[in-house]
Amino acid sequence: GAGVSQSPSNKVTEKGKDVELRCDPISGHTALYWYRQSLGQGLEFLIYFQGNSAPDKSGLPSDRFSAERTGGSVSTLTIQRTQQEDSAVYLCASSLRDRSYGYTFGSGTRLTVV
Amino acid sequence: DAKTTQPPSMDCAEGRAANLPCNHSTISGNEYVYWYRQIHSQGPQYIIHGLKNNETNEMASLIITEDRKSSTLILPHATLRDTAVYYCIVRVAMWDMRFGAGTRLTVKP
């Protein structure tokens, strides 16, 4: 597609449930990133995928968070046993490999844990 | 890591140029300066980036000082739709785009 697509756009879940957030990057973009943004806060880096290399998971806040990228394209961010502090907007971005290029962000998934 | 410093907020009159400053005094020679903006409830939007030379595109101009310790993003004719938080970022690693607090620009009629 023309842009980075994220789904769902909004998700309300009960505390303790698992959720999956999906990101479909721009075709041909080898790098994919997940960030989250809590209300009124800046963006917090979560994880980075580059081609077939092992992902950099150093930003994941706990072992309840995991992410996969299948076939070098679509990525899924999974949060297990959700807690209220997980409530945030989860943003996905993709870019070409060359770091001189900027990222293209999706519109995000607003997650609310009740 | 090269860090950036931006004023927390700025106002600009509609139709006038908006000049947003950024200090990055510890920038390394091979680090790019990026600017993004985030309009309320949307994901960040890439605006422009540069290394040493001044850059211009359809959205904005980027002026980088000769010593590269600071830069200015210029929106030549600000409109109400330019109201957003503007982030100045120095890319410290290939994967790591660290977003600070940014400058909240309010364009007023």
Query: Rounded distance, CA A6 to CA A23, Å?
Result: 5
Token digits of residue A4: 């980075």
Backbone angles phi, psi at A70, to 5 degrees: -95, 130
Classified as helix, coil or strand, A71 is helix
Of the candidates B43, B45, B100, the beta carbon closest to that of A42 is on B100
Task: Tell me the per-residue pLDDT of A3-61, one tens digit each, with 9 for 90 and over.
Answer: 999 999 999 999 999 999 999 999 988 889 999 998 877 788 899 898 888 888 888 99
Contact status of A21 with chain B (Cβ, < 8 Å): no
Query: Rounded distance, CA B23 to CA B2, Å?
Result: 10
- Walk along chain B (109 residues) and give the pLDDT tens digit of each residue: 558 999 999 999 999 999 999 999 988 888 889 999 999 878 899 899 898 989 999 999 999 999 999 999 999 999 999 999 999 988 765 556 777 889 999 999 9
Contact status of B66 with chain A (Cβ, < 8 Å): no
Write down the residue that tokens 């899924």 correspond to: A76
- Do the chains contact at B34 and A102, CB–CB below 8 Å? yes
H or E element: which one contains B72?
strand B70-75
Cα A92–chain centre separation: 4
Task: Tell me the per-residue pLDDT of B72-102, one tens digit each, with 9 for 90 and over.
Answer: 999 999 999 999 999 998 876 555 677 788 9
